[in-house]
């Protein structure tokens, strides 16, 4: 419990304003080890067949309710997950259960032209490729060469062929007007939601960084809104809980680009509405339609997901 002293006071105060006394539960969860989870790669193997193979080796798997090929692994550590024949073969991908949500909300289809604007390391790109059955096309973009290498490695290992990998500053997609049917903006963020994976992240946590991230996120949303076709769908997601990087960015997308926030229901997922007020700023009422996923809701990472349509 000594570790709790490392949680910045401001962090607690900010989330007390949203959660009230439940903030204690949030802080408790921030120090609870994250459950390990995998997504079975249906581009290479049938779900039942892979489950059978893993269970025959003594793995205890528990279905992630919102993802038909997602499973929590109850009795293996991270090293064990990465050192199996099935992992070597690309039959499964180690992916946090809440990070499986954005592609499920975007629902890419076989004919779609999709942009994943900040794609590395490729968890969601490979999930979308699987949902599209390797048809259609995904532009998987990232900015740094090292991140691109990891992205390409994962795409190829999982047998993905419907991608074009680009190396660009995501903000530059503003040049390509109305090109994509669907856009995923899984934005770089302050990563508050993944403190469970990296407790030391609290020592780096500060408001200045959150505000810098929010500026970048708005620019990425500008680019995504322009490059999206009329009638197209954008999913905006982060692994953070700060309203500046979540509801405020969605509110900006509504007011600046006229995007419509659609109501989302993900089967088996416990999620809360987006908030409509933060630090004297009033957000559009439709921002309530966003999904705010606290770590304590599903025993997962914290996440935020919004579905936006360009009319």
Q: Using CA atoms of 213, 173, 274, 71 in order, give the dihedral in degrees to the nearest 10.
A: -90
Considering only residues 125 to 144 of the shown chain, the ones binding other proteins according to CB under 8 A are 134-137, 139
Give the pair of three-digit tokens for residue 311. 């009319």
Residue 29 in contact with residue 297, Cβ under 8 Å? Answer: no
Residue 63 in contact with residue 70, Cβ under 8 Å? Answer: yes
Residue 308 in contact with residue 250, Cβ under 8 Å? Answer: yes
Of 24-32, 95-103, 163-171, 203-211: span binding other proteins (CB under 8 A): 163-171
Instruction: Pick from 153, 268, 277, 282 the residue near other proteins by CB under 8 A.
Output: 153
Instruction: Pick from 65, 159, 209, 299 the residue near other proteins by CB under 8 A.
Output: 159
3-state secondary structure of 184: strand
Give the pair of three-digit tokens for residue 149. 């290498």
Nearer residue to other proteins within complex by CB, 176 or 198: 176
Among the options 30, 50, 189, 239, which is catalytic? Answer: 239
Does 166 contact other proteins by CB under 8 A? yes
Instruction: Pick from 26, 61, 117, 160 the residue near other proteins by CB under 8 A.
Output: 160
Does 84 contact other proteins by CB under 8 A? yes
To other proteins, the closest distance from the beta carbon of 160 in angstroms equals 7
- Catalytic residue list contains 239: yes
Burial class (CB in 10 A: 0-12, 13-18, 19+), 87: middle
Considering only residues 191 to 250 of the shown chain, the ones binding other proteins according to CB under 8 A are none
Distance, CA of 217 to CA of 224 (rounded, Å): 10
Instruction: Pick from 179, 270, 288, 309 the residue near other proteins by CB under 8 A.
Output: 179
Distance, CA of 97 to CA of 302 (rounded, Å): 10
Active site residues: 239
Q: Which residues bind other proteins (CB under 8 A)?
A: 44, 82-85, 87-90, 111, 113, 134-137, 139, 148, 152-153, 155-157, 159-168, 175-176, 179
């Amino acid at each position: 419990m000594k570790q709790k002293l490392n949680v910045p006071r401001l962090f607690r105060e900010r989330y007390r304003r949203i959660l009230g006394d439940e903030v204690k539960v949030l802080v408790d969860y921030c120090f609870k080890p994250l459950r390990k989870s995998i997504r079975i790669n249906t581009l290479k193997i049938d779900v039942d067949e892979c489950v059978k193979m893993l269970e025959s080796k003594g793995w205890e798997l528990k279905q992630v309710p919102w993802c038909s090929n997602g499973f929590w692994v109850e009795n293996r550590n991270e090293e064990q997950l990465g050192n199996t024949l099935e992992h070597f073969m690309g039959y499964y991908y180690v992916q946090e259960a809440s990070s499986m949500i954005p592609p499920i909300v975007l629902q890419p289809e076989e004919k779609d032209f999709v942009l994943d604007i900040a794609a590395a390391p490729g968890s969601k790109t490979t999930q979308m490729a699987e949902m599209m059955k390797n048809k259609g096309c995904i532009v998987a973009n990232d900015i740094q060469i090292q991140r691109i290498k990891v992205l390409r490695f994962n795409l190829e290992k999982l047998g993905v062929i419907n991608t074009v990998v680009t190396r660009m500053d995501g903000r530059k997609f503003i040049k390509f007007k109305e090109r994509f049917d669907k856009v995923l903006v899984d934005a770089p963020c302050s990563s508050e939601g993944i403190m469970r994976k990296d407790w030391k992240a609290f020592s780096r946590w500060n408001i200045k960084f959150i505000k810098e991230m929010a500026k970048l996120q708005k620019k990425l949303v500008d680019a995504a809104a322009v490059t999206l076709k009329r009638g197209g769908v954008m999913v905006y997601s982060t692994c953070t809980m700060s309203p500046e990087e979540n509801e405020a960015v969605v509110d900006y997308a509504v007011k600046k680009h006229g995007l419509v926030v659609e109501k989302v229901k993900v089967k088996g997922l416990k999620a809360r509405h987006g908030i409509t007020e933060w630090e004297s700023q009033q957000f559009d009422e439709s921002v309530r339609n966003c999904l705010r996923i606290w770590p304590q809701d599903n025993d997962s990472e914290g996440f935020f997901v919004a579905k936006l349509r360009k009319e």
